[in-house]
């Protein structure tokens, strides 16, 4: 089983996947449900973001577990 990413690794992963279209601060300022994040990530994928289904699930899980 692969070791989960640290917060710092996930933050870097988000920045990489946003490909310059959004800052981490912008993404983290949105407090959305898992369903809303799924729809948002689907839109990013439709616009060309290179996010596979496993990465999408991992991103949503991290966002839901990261409450600030």
Structure tokens at 9: 């690794």
**Cα–Cα distance for residue pair 65/45, rounded to 1 Å:** 22
pLDDT per position as a tens digit, 4-61:
788 889 888 888 887 766 667 777 787 899 999 999 999 989 988 899 999 999 999 9
Do 44 and 51 form a contact (C-beta atoms < 8 A)? yes
Q: In sequence order, what are the residues at sequence separation of 6 or more whose Cβ sits closer than 8 angstroms to the Cβ of residue 47?
A: 21
> Which of the pair, 65 or 66, is modelled with greater confidence?
65
**Cα 24 to Cα 27: distance, rounded to the nearest angstrom:** 5
Q: What's the pTM?
A: 0.79
């Amino acid at each position: 089983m692969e070791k989960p990413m640290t917060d710092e690794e996930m933050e870097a992963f988000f920045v990489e996947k946003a490909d310059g279209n959004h800052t981490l601060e912008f993404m983290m300022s949105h407090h959305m449900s898992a369903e809303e994040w799924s729809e948002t990530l689907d839109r990013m994928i439709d616009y060309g973001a290179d996010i596979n289904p496993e990465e999408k699930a991992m991103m949503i899980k991290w966002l839901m577990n990261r409450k600030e």
